[in-house]
A = this chain, B = another copy of it.
Amino acid sequence: MKKIKYGLSVLGLAVGMATGGVSMSVTAAKPTLSEEDFKKAELHYFQRCAGCHGVTRKGATGKNLEPENMLKKGQKRLEKIISLGTEGGMNNFDDLLSKKEIANLATFIQMEPPVPPEMTLSQMREHTKEYVAPKDYPTKPKHNRNWQNFFVVIERDAGKAAIVDGDTKEIIAHINTGYAVHVIKGTEHHKKDHVDDVGRFWYTIGRDGKVNKIDLWQTPDKMLVAETKMAYDARDIAVSGDGKYVIAGGYWPSHFVIMDAVTLNPLKVVSTRGYNTKGDYVNEARVAAIYTTPNESTFMVAVKELGQMWQVDYTDIDNLRIDHIDSSEFLHDGFFDPSGRYFQIAANASNKMVVVDTKTRKLESMIDVDSLPHPGPGANWIDEECGPVGGTTHLGTGLVSVWGNDPIGHPDKAWKLCYEVETDGPGAFIRTHETSQYVWADQLKHPEPEIQQSVQVFDKKTHEIVKTIRVTEEPGKAALHMEFNDDGSEVWVSVWNRKDAKNPSGEIVVYDAKTLKEKHRIKGLTTPTGKFNVYNRIHHKT
Protein backbone atom coordinates (compact mmCIF):
# COMPACT_ATOMS: atom_id res chain seq x y z
CA MET A 1 0.00 0.00 0.00
CA LYS A 2 1.46 3.32 -1.11
CA LYS A 3 1.74 5.71 1.82
CA ILE A 4 0.07 9.08 1.56
CA LYS A 5 2.00 12.08 2.77
CA TYR A 6 1.07 15.52 1.50
CA GLY A 7 1.43 18.78 3.37
CA LEU A 8 -0.84 21.68 2.58
CA SER A 9 1.86 23.32 0.53
CA VAL A 10 1.62 20.70 -2.18
CA LEU A 11 -2.16 20.63 -2.35
CA GLY A 12 -2.13 22.93 -5.35
CA LEU A 13 0.13 20.56 -7.20
CA ALA A 14 -1.88 17.52 -6.17
CA VAL A 15 -5.06 19.20 -7.40
CA GLY A 16 -3.44 20.05 -10.69
CA MET A 17 -2.49 16.43 -11.22
CA ALA A 18 -5.81 15.03 -10.12
CA THR A 19 -7.77 17.15 -12.56
CA GLY A 20 -5.43 16.89 -15.50
CA GLY A 21 -4.48 20.53 -15.28
CA VAL A 22 -7.54 21.93 -17.07
CA SER A 23 -7.31 25.69 -17.35
CA MET A 24 -9.74 28.37 -18.52
CA SER A 25 -9.41 31.93 -19.70
CA VAL A 26 -9.52 34.47 -16.88
CA THR A 27 -11.13 37.00 -19.20
CA ALA A 28 -14.33 34.95 -19.55
CA ALA A 29 -17.64 36.56 -18.56
CA LYS A 30 -18.08 37.03 -14.80
CA PRO A 31 -19.75 34.00 -13.19
CA THR A 32 -23.25 34.69 -11.83
CA LEU A 33 -26.01 32.82 -10.01
CA SER A 34 -29.69 33.55 -9.50
CA GLU A 35 -30.49 34.91 -6.05
CA GLU A 36 -32.04 31.56 -5.09
CA ASP A 37 -29.06 29.51 -6.28
CA PHE A 38 -26.67 31.95 -4.60
CA LYS A 39 -28.44 31.52 -1.26
CA LYS A 40 -28.35 27.70 -1.59
CA ALA A 41 -24.68 27.71 -2.59
CA GLU A 42 -23.91 30.05 0.31
CA LEU A 43 -25.53 27.55 2.70
CA HIS A 44 -23.66 24.62 1.17
CA TYR A 45 -20.43 26.57 1.34
CA PHE A 46 -21.05 27.32 5.02
CA GLN A 47 -21.95 23.70 5.83
CA ARG A 48 -19.25 21.92 3.84
CA CYS A 49 -16.41 24.30 2.97
CA ALA A 50 -16.15 27.16 5.52
CA GLY A 51 -14.69 24.89 8.19
CA CYS A 52 -11.40 24.54 6.30
CA HIS A 53 -11.46 27.53 3.93
CA GLY A 54 -13.06 30.19 6.19
CA VAL A 55 -16.33 32.12 5.89
CA THR A 56 -14.51 34.93 4.09
CA ARG A 57 -12.55 32.32 2.06
CA LYS A 58 -9.13 33.61 3.08
CA GLY A 59 -8.04 30.01 3.67
CA ALA A 60 -6.75 28.33 6.82
CA THR A 61 -6.33 24.57 7.01
CA GLY A 62 -7.68 24.63 3.44
CA LYS A 63 -6.56 26.86 0.58
CA ASN A 64 -7.54 30.47 -0.13
CA LEU A 65 -10.73 30.41 -2.24
CA GLU A 66 -11.07 34.09 -3.12
CA PRO A 67 -12.34 34.94 -6.62
CA GLU A 68 -8.91 36.04 -7.83
CA ASN A 69 -7.60 32.50 -7.39
CA MET A 70 -10.81 30.67 -8.28
CA LEU A 71 -11.34 32.51 -11.58
CA LYS A 72 -7.94 31.23 -12.67
CA LYS A 73 -9.01 27.64 -12.05
CA GLY A 74 -12.34 28.07 -13.78
CA GLN A 75 -15.72 26.36 -13.58
CA LYS A 76 -14.85 22.87 -14.90
CA ARG A 77 -11.75 22.37 -12.83
CA LEU A 78 -13.44 23.58 -9.65
CA GLU A 79 -16.35 21.21 -10.25
CA LYS A 80 -13.92 18.31 -10.55
CA ILE A 81 -12.07 19.26 -7.36
CA ILE A 82 -15.31 19.58 -5.39
CA SER A 83 -16.64 16.30 -6.82
CA LEU A 84 -13.57 14.17 -6.34
CA GLY A 85 -11.66 15.87 -3.55
CA THR A 86 -7.87 15.92 -3.34
CA GLU A 87 -5.39 13.45 -1.96
CA GLY A 88 -4.02 16.12 0.34
CA GLY A 89 -6.96 16.05 2.70
CA MET A 90 -10.01 17.51 0.93
CA ASN A 91 -12.99 15.17 0.89
CA ASN A 92 -14.99 14.28 -2.22
CA PHE A 93 -18.50 15.74 -2.25
CA ASP A 94 -20.08 13.84 -5.16
CA ASP A 95 -21.82 11.57 -2.65
CA LEU A 96 -23.27 14.45 -0.65
CA LEU A 97 -24.19 17.07 -3.26
CA SER A 98 -25.92 16.81 -6.64
CA LYS A 99 -24.17 17.74 -9.88
CA LYS A 100 -26.12 20.99 -10.03
CA GLU A 101 -25.27 21.81 -6.42
CA ILE A 102 -21.58 21.21 -7.14
CA ALA A 103 -21.75 23.36 -10.29
CA ASN A 104 -23.38 26.19 -8.33
CA LEU A 105 -20.83 25.89 -5.56
CA ALA A 106 -18.02 26.11 -8.14
CA THR A 107 -19.63 29.28 -9.52
CA PHE A 108 -20.25 30.69 -6.03
CA ILE A 109 -16.57 30.56 -5.09
CA GLN A 110 -15.67 32.51 -8.22
CA MET A 111 -17.95 35.34 -7.04
CA GLU A 112 -17.20 37.90 -4.31
CA PRO A 113 -17.80 36.36 -0.84
CA PRO A 114 -20.86 37.87 0.85
CA VAL A 115 -19.86 40.04 3.82
CA PRO A 116 -20.76 38.05 6.93
CA PRO A 117 -22.78 39.90 9.56
CA GLU A 118 -21.69 40.77 13.10
CA MET A 119 -23.52 39.43 16.17
CA THR A 120 -24.05 41.62 19.23
CA LEU A 121 -24.48 40.43 22.81
CA SER A 122 -28.12 41.60 22.66
CA GLN A 123 -28.74 39.49 19.57
CA MET A 124 -27.30 36.44 21.33
CA ARG A 125 -29.51 37.05 24.34
CA GLU A 126 -32.60 36.99 22.13
CA HIS A 127 -31.80 33.33 21.39
CA THR A 128 -31.59 32.29 25.04
CA LYS A 129 -34.36 29.81 25.90
CA GLU A 130 -35.27 28.01 29.09
CA TYR A 131 -36.83 24.57 28.59
CA VAL A 132 -36.66 23.59 32.24
CA ALA A 133 -36.49 26.27 34.93
CA PRO A 134 -33.44 25.86 37.21
CA LYS A 135 -35.76 25.75 40.23
CA ASP A 136 -37.32 22.62 38.71
CA TYR A 137 -34.01 20.80 38.24
CA PRO A 138 -34.22 17.46 40.09
CA THR A 139 -32.11 17.09 43.23
CA LYS A 140 -31.28 13.46 42.41
CA PRO A 141 -31.43 11.43 39.19
CA LYS A 142 -34.99 10.74 37.94
CA HIS A 143 -33.91 7.32 36.67
CA ASN A 144 -31.98 4.38 38.08
CA ARG A 145 -29.44 4.12 35.26
CA ASN A 146 -25.67 4.33 35.85
CA TRP A 147 -25.47 7.82 34.36
CA GLN A 148 -21.73 8.12 35.01
CA ASN A 149 -21.24 5.48 32.30
CA PHE A 150 -23.47 7.29 29.80
CA PHE A 151 -21.97 8.18 26.44
CA VAL A 152 -23.02 11.49 24.94
CA VAL A 153 -22.74 10.90 21.18
CA ILE A 154 -22.71 13.56 18.46
CA GLU A 155 -25.07 12.62 15.60
CA ARG A 156 -23.48 15.06 13.24
CA ASP A 157 -25.73 15.33 10.23
CA ALA A 158 -28.93 14.95 12.25
CA GLY A 159 -28.20 17.99 14.43
CA LYS A 160 -28.71 15.80 17.49
CA ALA A 161 -26.85 14.33 20.44
CA ALA A 162 -27.68 10.77 21.41
CA ILE A 163 -27.49 9.62 25.02
CA VAL A 164 -26.37 5.98 25.15
CA ASP A 165 -26.39 3.89 28.32
CA GLY A 166 -22.89 2.39 28.53
CA ASP A 167 -24.04 -0.48 30.73
CA THR A 168 -27.07 -1.63 28.69
CA LYS A 169 -25.99 -0.18 25.28
CA GLU A 170 -29.47 1.32 24.88
CA ILE A 171 -29.96 4.64 23.10
CA ILE A 172 -32.12 6.43 25.61
CA ALA A 173 -32.53 9.82 23.89
CA HIS A 174 -31.86 11.79 20.71
CA ILE A 175 -31.65 15.43 21.79
CA ASN A 176 -32.07 18.31 19.32
CA THR A 177 -28.93 20.40 19.18
CA GLY A 178 -27.29 22.78 16.73
CA TYR A 179 -26.18 21.71 13.26
CA ALA A 180 -23.18 19.33 13.13
CA VAL A 181 -22.18 19.55 16.77
CA HIS A 182 -18.42 19.52 16.95
CA VAL A 183 -17.76 19.12 20.64
CA ILE A 184 -19.60 18.40 23.86
CA LYS A 185 -18.19 19.21 27.28
CA GLY A 186 -19.37 18.27 30.74
CA THR A 187 -19.18 20.02 34.09
CA GLU A 188 -15.94 19.26 35.91
CA HIS A 189 -16.38 21.22 39.14
CA HIS A 190 -12.76 21.33 40.22
CA LYS A 191 -13.89 22.73 43.50
CA LYS A 192 -15.30 19.69 45.19
CA ASP A 193 -18.24 21.34 46.92
CA HIS A 194 -20.75 19.83 44.48
CA VAL A 195 -18.90 16.62 43.87
CA ASP A 196 -22.10 14.56 43.69
CA ASP A 197 -23.30 16.10 40.47
CA VAL A 198 -19.96 16.34 38.67
CA GLY A 199 -20.59 15.36 35.06
CA ARG A 200 -24.33 15.79 35.32
CA PHE A 201 -24.64 18.75 32.93
CA TRP A 202 -23.34 18.63 29.36
CA TYR A 203 -23.05 21.47 26.91
CA THR A 204 -23.10 21.13 23.13
CA ILE A 205 -21.94 23.61 20.52
CA GLY A 206 -23.27 23.37 16.97
CA ARG A 207 -21.51 24.44 13.80
CA ASP A 208 -24.30 27.05 13.67
CA GLY A 209 -23.27 28.51 17.05
CA LYS A 210 -26.24 27.02 18.88
CA VAL A 211 -25.47 26.07 22.48
CA ASN A 212 -27.53 23.46 24.32
CA LYS A 213 -27.46 22.34 27.93
CA ILE A 214 -28.28 18.72 28.75
CA ASP A 215 -29.17 17.41 32.21
CA LEU A 216 -28.39 13.69 32.50
CA TRP A 217 -30.44 13.41 35.72
CA GLN A 218 -33.65 14.16 33.84
CA THR A 219 -35.99 11.77 32.13
CA PRO A 220 -35.09 11.53 28.42
CA ASP A 221 -37.90 13.86 27.27
CA LYS A 222 -36.67 16.64 29.57
CA MET A 223 -32.91 16.32 29.23
CA LEU A 224 -32.65 19.45 27.04
CA VAL A 225 -32.92 22.22 29.64
CA ALA A 226 -31.61 25.42 28.01
CA GLU A 227 -30.39 26.89 24.74
CA THR A 228 -28.76 29.95 23.20
CA LYS A 229 -26.75 30.99 20.13
CA MET A 230 -23.40 32.79 20.28
CA ALA A 231 -22.14 32.88 16.65
CA TYR A 232 -23.07 31.96 13.08
CA ASP A 233 -20.25 29.43 12.90
CA ALA A 234 -18.61 27.86 15.95
CA ARG A 235 -16.59 24.86 17.07
CA ASP A 236 -15.88 24.45 20.75
CA ILE A 237 -17.18 24.95 24.24
CA ALA A 238 -16.00 24.46 27.83
CA VAL A 239 -17.30 24.74 31.38
CA SER A 240 -15.40 26.60 34.11
CA GLY A 241 -13.91 24.58 36.95
CA ASP A 242 -16.25 26.27 39.43
CA GLY A 243 -19.26 25.35 37.30
CA LYS A 244 -20.32 29.01 37.01
CA TYR A 245 -19.53 29.75 33.38
CA VAL A 246 -19.76 28.19 29.96
CA ILE A 247 -17.48 29.57 27.26
CA ALA A 248 -17.88 28.99 23.53
CA GLY A 249 -15.68 30.02 20.62
CA GLY A 250 -16.83 31.41 17.29
CA TYR A 251 -15.38 30.88 13.84
CA TRP A 252 -17.58 33.76 12.68
CA PRO A 253 -17.76 36.25 14.19
CA SER A 254 -14.29 35.47 15.50
CA HIS A 255 -14.85 35.79 19.22
CA PHE A 256 -15.52 33.92 22.41
CA VAL A 257 -18.57 34.28 24.60
CA ILE A 258 -18.82 33.64 28.32
CA MET A 259 -22.28 32.50 29.39
CA ASP A 260 -23.99 31.81 32.70
CA ALA A 261 -23.70 28.03 33.09
CA VAL A 262 -27.13 27.81 34.71
CA THR A 263 -29.23 29.79 32.23
CA LEU A 264 -26.85 29.98 29.22
CA ASN A 265 -27.44 33.74 29.19
CA PRO A 266 -24.48 35.35 27.34
CA LEU A 267 -22.59 37.64 29.74
CA LYS A 268 -19.45 38.73 27.92
CA VAL A 269 -18.10 38.66 24.38
CA VAL A 270 -14.44 39.16 23.46
CA SER A 271 -13.19 39.53 19.90
CA THR A 272 -10.24 37.41 18.77
CA ARG A 273 -9.50 39.34 15.56
CA GLY A 274 -5.94 40.51 15.62
CA TYR A 275 -2.37 40.07 14.45
CA ASN A 276 -0.78 36.69 13.81
CA THR A 277 2.75 35.82 14.94
CA LYS A 278 4.14 37.43 11.76
CA GLY A 279 2.40 40.74 12.56
CA ASP A 280 -0.26 40.57 9.80
CA TYR A 281 -3.85 41.54 10.63
CA VAL A 282 -6.37 38.67 10.46
CA ASN A 283 -10.06 39.58 10.41
CA GLU A 284 -11.18 35.95 10.51
CA ALA A 285 -9.14 34.77 13.52
CA ARG A 286 -11.16 31.76 14.51
CA VAL A 287 -11.49 30.09 17.88
CA ALA A 288 -10.77 26.46 17.08
CA ALA A 289 -10.65 24.96 20.55
CA ILE A 290 -11.58 25.88 24.11
CA TYR A 291 -10.74 23.92 27.25
CA THR A 292 -11.01 24.50 30.96
CA THR A 293 -7.66 24.16 32.76
CA PRO A 294 -7.77 21.50 35.49
CA ASN A 295 -5.46 23.33 37.93
CA GLU A 296 -6.18 27.02 37.29
CA SER A 297 -9.29 29.20 37.14
CA THR A 298 -8.78 29.76 33.46
CA PHE A 299 -9.89 28.71 29.99
CA MET A 300 -7.52 27.90 27.15
CA VAL A 301 -8.74 29.55 23.94
CA ALA A 302 -6.93 28.52 20.76
CA VAL A 303 -7.04 31.35 18.21
CA LYS A 304 -6.27 29.40 15.08
CA GLU A 305 -5.06 31.94 12.53
CA LEU A 306 -3.25 34.10 15.11
CA GLY A 307 -1.11 31.20 16.31
CA GLN A 308 -1.90 32.29 19.86
CA MET A 309 -3.24 30.46 22.88
CA TRP A 310 -5.24 32.86 25.02
CA GLN A 311 -5.39 31.83 28.66
CA VAL A 312 -8.54 33.53 29.91
CA ASP A 313 -8.95 33.98 33.66
CA TYR A 314 -12.59 33.71 34.69
CA THR A 315 -12.25 34.79 38.33
CA ASP A 316 -13.38 38.35 37.43
CA ILE A 317 -14.99 38.73 34.02
CA ASP A 318 -15.42 42.52 34.38
CA ASN A 319 -11.64 42.87 34.72
CA LEU A 320 -10.79 40.07 32.34
CA ARG A 321 -7.19 38.89 32.42
CA ILE A 322 -6.01 37.23 29.23
CA ASP A 323 -2.46 35.96 28.67
CA HIS A 324 -1.77 35.92 24.93
CA ILE A 325 0.73 33.11 24.38
CA ASP A 326 2.47 33.25 21.01
CA SER A 327 3.07 29.88 19.38
CA SER A 328 2.36 28.86 15.79
CA GLU A 329 -0.47 29.35 13.32
CA PHE A 330 -3.37 26.93 12.72
CA LEU A 331 -3.99 25.80 16.27
CA HIS A 332 -6.71 23.21 16.15
CA ASP A 333 -7.29 20.52 18.81
CA GLY A 334 -5.53 19.61 22.00
CA PHE A 335 -5.47 17.81 25.34
CA PHE A 336 -3.86 18.09 28.76
CA ASP A 337 -0.99 15.99 30.10
CA PRO A 338 -1.95 13.70 33.04
CA SER A 339 -0.85 16.30 35.61
CA GLY A 340 -3.26 18.81 34.09
CA ARG A 341 -0.56 21.47 34.04
CA TYR A 342 0.51 21.29 30.39
CA PHE A 343 -1.81 21.77 27.45
CA GLN A 344 -0.71 20.02 24.24
CA ILE A 345 -2.34 21.32 21.06
CA ALA A 346 -1.81 20.72 17.34
CA ALA A 347 -0.84 23.65 15.12
CA ASN A 348 -1.97 21.56 12.20
CA ALA A 349 -0.73 23.28 9.04
CA SER A 350 2.47 24.25 10.90
CA ASN A 351 3.15 20.53 11.57
CA LYS A 352 3.80 21.20 15.24
CA MET A 353 2.50 20.24 18.63
CA VAL A 354 2.41 23.35 20.84
CA VAL A 355 2.77 22.97 24.61
CA VAL A 356 1.56 25.64 27.05
CA ASP A 357 2.39 25.70 30.76
CA THR A 358 -0.94 26.71 32.30
CA LYS A 359 0.75 27.41 35.66
CA THR A 360 3.14 30.09 34.36
CA ARG A 361 0.75 30.97 31.50
CA LYS A 362 3.63 30.82 29.04
CA LEU A 363 4.71 28.81 26.04
CA GLU A 364 6.52 25.68 27.28
CA SER A 365 7.65 24.12 24.02
CA MET A 366 6.91 23.40 20.36
CA ILE A 367 7.49 19.90 18.99
CA ASP A 368 8.03 19.31 15.27
CA VAL A 369 5.82 16.41 14.21
CA ASP A 370 4.64 15.33 10.75
CA SER A 371 2.01 16.56 8.27
CA LEU A 372 -1.14 18.01 9.86
CA PRO A 373 -1.17 16.61 13.41
CA HIS A 374 -4.71 16.00 14.74
CA PRO A 375 -5.00 14.26 18.11
CA GLY A 376 -8.75 14.74 18.59
CA PRO A 377 -9.29 13.87 22.26
CA GLY A 378 -5.63 12.82 22.49
CA ALA A 379 -3.91 10.06 24.40
CA ASN A 380 -1.47 9.99 27.33
CA TRP A 381 0.20 6.86 28.66
CA ILE A 382 3.41 5.59 30.28
CA ASP A 383 6.29 4.46 28.10
CA GLU A 384 8.94 2.16 29.59
CA GLU A 385 11.80 4.29 28.33
CA CYS A 386 10.42 7.84 28.07
CA GLY A 387 8.07 7.80 31.06
CA PRO A 388 4.81 9.72 30.64
CA VAL A 389 4.12 10.39 26.95
CA GLY A 390 1.45 11.92 24.73
CA GLY A 391 0.62 10.98 21.16
CA THR A 392 -1.12 12.26 18.06
CA THR A 393 -2.41 10.99 14.74
CA HIS A 394 -1.93 13.08 11.57
CA LEU A 395 -4.45 14.13 8.91
CA GLY A 396 -1.65 14.28 6.34
CA THR A 397 0.16 10.99 6.89
CA GLY A 398 -0.29 7.56 8.46
CA LEU A 399 1.81 8.15 11.52
CA VAL A 400 1.41 8.33 15.28
CA SER A 401 4.00 10.60 16.89
CA VAL A 402 4.78 10.06 20.58
CA TRP A 403 6.62 12.55 22.80
CA GLY A 404 7.66 12.75 26.44
CA ASN A 405 5.40 14.99 28.53
CA ASP A 406 6.81 14.88 32.05
CA PRO A 407 9.33 17.74 32.32
CA ILE A 408 9.64 17.32 36.09
CA GLY A 409 10.15 13.52 36.34
CA HIS A 410 11.83 13.01 32.93
CA PRO A 411 13.30 16.37 31.93
CA ASP A 412 15.63 14.86 29.28
CA LYS A 413 12.70 13.25 27.46
CA ALA A 414 10.23 16.09 27.82
CA TRP A 415 8.78 17.63 24.64
CA LYS A 416 11.04 15.50 22.42
CA LEU A 417 9.85 12.78 20.08
CA CYS A 418 10.12 9.44 21.84
CA TYR A 419 9.10 7.20 18.92
CA GLU A 420 6.76 7.02 15.92
CA VAL A 421 4.38 4.30 14.78
CA GLU A 422 3.51 4.02 11.10
CA THR A 423 -0.11 3.22 10.40
CA ASP A 424 -1.76 2.34 7.08
CA GLY A 425 -3.41 5.71 6.64
CA PRO A 426 -3.79 9.26 7.91
CA GLY A 427 -6.27 9.57 10.76
CA ALA A 428 -8.11 12.08 12.91
CA PHE A 429 -8.31 10.44 16.33
CA ILE A 430 -6.13 8.63 18.86
CA ARG A 431 -7.24 7.19 22.19
CA THR A 432 -6.16 4.99 25.09
CA HIS A 433 -6.99 4.39 28.76
CA GLU A 434 -4.82 4.02 31.84
CA THR A 435 -5.95 0.40 32.26
CA SER A 436 -5.20 -0.56 28.64
CA GLN A 437 -1.97 -1.92 27.16
CA TYR A 438 -3.00 -0.58 23.74
CA VAL A 439 -3.31 2.69 21.85
CA TRP A 440 -5.96 3.01 19.14
CA ALA A 441 -5.71 5.17 15.98
CA ASP A 442 -8.25 5.62 13.20
CA GLN A 443 -7.48 6.14 9.48
CA LEU A 444 -10.43 8.31 8.52
CA LYS A 445 -8.49 10.38 6.01
CA HIS A 446 -7.34 7.56 3.74
CA PRO A 447 -9.29 7.50 0.44
CA GLU A 448 -9.33 3.66 0.16
CA PRO A 449 -12.48 2.23 1.79
CA GLU A 450 -10.57 -0.75 3.17
CA ILE A 451 -8.24 1.47 5.18
CA GLN A 452 -10.78 4.18 6.00
CA GLN A 453 -13.00 1.48 7.50
CA SER A 454 -10.23 0.04 9.68
CA VAL A 455 -8.66 1.23 12.92
CA GLN A 456 -5.25 0.11 14.11
CA VAL A 457 -4.15 -0.87 17.58
CA PHE A 458 -0.55 -0.77 18.79
CA ASP A 459 1.09 -2.07 21.96
CA LYS A 460 2.38 0.51 24.48
CA LYS A 461 5.33 -1.80 25.29
CA THR A 462 6.50 -3.05 21.89
CA HIS A 463 5.34 0.00 19.86
CA GLU A 464 4.16 -2.52 17.23
CA ILE A 465 0.73 -2.67 15.62
CA VAL A 466 -0.92 -5.75 17.08
CA LYS A 467 -4.20 -5.64 15.21
CA THR A 468 -5.94 -3.95 12.29
CA ILE A 469 -9.68 -4.02 12.93
CA ARG A 470 -12.06 -3.70 9.97
CA VAL A 471 -14.93 -2.00 11.77
CA THR A 472 -17.29 -2.03 8.80
CA GLU A 473 -17.27 -3.29 5.21
CA GLU A 474 -20.40 -1.52 4.02
CA PRO A 475 -19.87 0.79 1.03
CA GLY A 476 -19.94 4.49 1.88
CA LYS A 477 -19.12 3.94 5.52
CA ALA A 478 -16.05 4.95 7.50
CA ALA A 479 -14.67 4.13 10.96
CA LEU A 480 -13.59 6.88 13.31
CA HIS A 481 -13.15 8.07 16.89
CA MET A 482 -12.57 5.72 19.78
CA GLU A 483 -13.78 6.15 23.37
CA PHE A 484 -13.34 3.85 26.38
CA ASN A 485 -16.15 3.11 28.82
CA ASP A 486 -15.96 4.04 32.52
CA ASP A 487 -13.70 1.19 33.71
CA GLY A 488 -11.67 0.91 30.52
CA SER A 489 -12.96 -2.57 29.65
CA GLU A 490 -14.56 -1.52 26.34
CA VAL A 491 -13.61 0.59 23.32
CA TRP A 492 -16.41 2.20 21.34
CA VAL A 493 -15.76 3.02 17.67
CA SER A 494 -18.07 5.13 15.45
CA VAL A 495 -19.19 4.10 11.98
CA TRP A 496 -20.17 7.03 9.77
CA ASN A 497 -22.82 6.45 7.14
CA ARG A 498 -21.37 9.01 4.77
CA LYS A 499 -23.46 8.14 1.68
CA ASP A 500 -26.67 7.97 3.69
CA ALA A 501 -25.92 10.80 6.07
CA LYS A 502 -29.53 11.87 6.59
CA ASN A 503 -30.67 8.50 7.99
CA PRO A 504 -29.93 6.64 11.22
CA SER A 505 -27.91 3.96 9.45
CA GLY A 506 -24.69 4.68 11.33
CA GLU A 507 -23.58 2.66 14.30
CA ILE A 508 -21.16 2.29 17.18
CA VAL A 509 -19.17 -0.91 17.42
CA VAL A 510 -18.10 -1.96 20.91
CA TYR A 511 -14.86 -3.93 21.37
CA ASP A 512 -13.44 -5.73 24.35
CA ALA A 513 -10.44 -3.59 25.33
CA LYS A 514 -8.31 -6.63 26.28
CA THR A 515 -9.17 -9.28 23.64
CA LEU A 516 -9.87 -6.64 20.94
CA LYS A 517 -12.89 -8.72 19.90
CA GLU A 518 -16.24 -7.27 18.87
CA LYS A 519 -18.83 -7.36 21.65
CA HIS A 520 -21.77 -5.35 20.41
CA ARG A 521 -23.13 -3.11 17.65
CA ILE A 522 -25.30 -0.15 18.63
CA LYS A 523 -27.48 0.67 15.62
CA GLY A 524 -29.89 3.50 14.83
CA LEU A 525 -27.50 6.44 14.92
CA THR A 526 -27.06 9.17 12.30
CA THR A 527 -23.39 9.88 11.45
CA PRO A 528 -22.21 9.21 15.01
CA THR A 529 -19.00 11.17 15.53
CA GLY A 530 -17.44 12.25 18.84
CA LYS A 531 -18.41 10.16 21.87
CA PHE A 532 -17.96 11.40 25.40
CA ASN A 533 -18.02 8.93 28.28
CA VAL A 534 -19.12 10.87 31.35
CA TYR A 535 -16.73 9.27 33.85
CA ASN A 536 -13.64 9.30 31.64
CA ARG A 537 -14.06 12.87 30.43
CA ILE A 538 -14.76 14.32 33.84
CA HIS A 539 -11.79 12.55 35.41
CA HIS A 540 -9.49 12.98 32.39
CA LYS A 541 -8.93 9.22 32.19
CA THR A 542 -7.19 9.19 28.87
User: Hey, which bits of chain A sit against chain B, CB under 8 A?
Assistant: 118-122, 124, 253, 255, 266, 268-271, 273-275, 278-281, 316, 318-326, 361-363
A183 to B320, CA, bound (A): 28
> Contact at B274–A253, with CB atoms within 8 Å?
no
Q: Looking across the interface, which residue of chain B has its beta carbon closest to that of A324?
A: B320
Residues of B within 8 A of A122 (CB): 278-280
Q: Which residue in B266, B271, B318, B324 is a CB contact (below 8 Å) of A274? A: B271
Q: How far is the CA of A269 from the CA of B282 in the complex (A)?
A: 12
Query: Are A270 and B274 touching (Cβ within 8 A)?
Result: yes
Whole-angstrom distance between the alpha carbons of A119 and B279 in the complex?
Answer: 9
Quick check: B324 and A323 within 8 Å, CB to CB? no
Shortest C-beta distance, A340 to chain B (Å), equals: 19
Complex-state Cα separation, A41 to B275, whole angstroms: 31
Which residues of B sit under 8 angstroms from A323, Cβ to Cβ?
Answer: 319-322
A-B residue pairs in contact (CB < 8 Å), sample of 22: A119-B281, A120-B279, A120-B280, A121-B278, A124-B279, A253-B281, A255-B275, A268-B279, A269-B275, A270-B275, A270-B324, A273-B273, A273-B274, A316-B362, A318-B325, A318-B362, A319-B323, A319-B325, A319-B326, A320-B324, A321-B361, A322-B322
A254 to chain B, nearest CB (A): 10
CA distance A118 to B283 in the complex (A): 11
- Bound CA–CA A325/B266 (angstroms): 18
Contact between chains at B269 and A363 (CB < 8 Å): no
Query: Nearest Cβ in chain B — how far from A65, in angstroms?
Result: 20
Main secondary structure of the interface of A (DSSP, over half): strand
Report the nearest B residue to A281, measured CB to CB: B118
Task: Compute how far the CA of A275 lies from the CA of B255 in the bound complex, rounded to whole angstroms.
Answer: 9
Contacts of A121 on B, CB cut-off 8 Å? 275, 278-280
Given A319-B362, A323-B320, A363-B318, A271 and B270 contact (CB-CB distance below 8 Å): no
Beyond A270-B324, A321-B321, A321-B322, list 15 extra A-B contacts (CB 8 Å). A118-B280, A120-B280, A121-B278, A121-B279, A122-B279, A253-B281, A271-B274, A271-B281, A273-B274, A318-B325, A319-B324, A319-B361, A319-B363, A321-B361, A322-B324
A345–B43 CA distance with the chains assembled, in angstroms: 47
Smallest distance from the beta carbon of A358 to chain B beta carbons, Å?
A: 12
CA distance in complex: A417, B270 (Å): 33
The docked-state distance in angstroms from the alpha carbon of A120 to that of B12 is: 26
Please give, as numbers and ranges, the residues of chain B lying within 8 Å of A326 by CB-CB distance. 318-320
Complex Cα distance, B317 from A362, in Å, reads 10
What's the Cα separation between A255 and B324 when bound, in Å?
15
How far is A171 from B253 in the complex, measured between Cα atoms in Å? 53
A103 to chain B, nearest CB (A): 32
Looking at A278, A280, A281, the one whose CB has the most chain B CB atoms below 10 A away is A281
CA distance A119 to B121 in the complex (A): 29
**Distance between Cα atoms of A324 and B314 in the complex (Å):** 12
Closest to A313 in B: B323
In contact, A269 and B273 (Cβ under 8 angstroms):
no
Residue of B nearest to A282 (CB): B271
Q: Roughly how many angstroms separate A363 CA and B363 CA in the complex, as a whole number?
A: 29
Chain B nearest Cβ from A259, distance in angstroms = 12
A360: nearest chain-B partner, CB-CB: B319
- Do B322 and A281 have beta carbons less than 8 Å apart? no
How far does the alpha carbon of A490 sit from the alpha carbon of B323 in the complex, in Å? Answer: 45
Cα distance A70–B514 in the bound complex, in angstroms: 75
In the bound assembly, the distance between CA atoms of A275 and B273 in angstroms comes to: 11
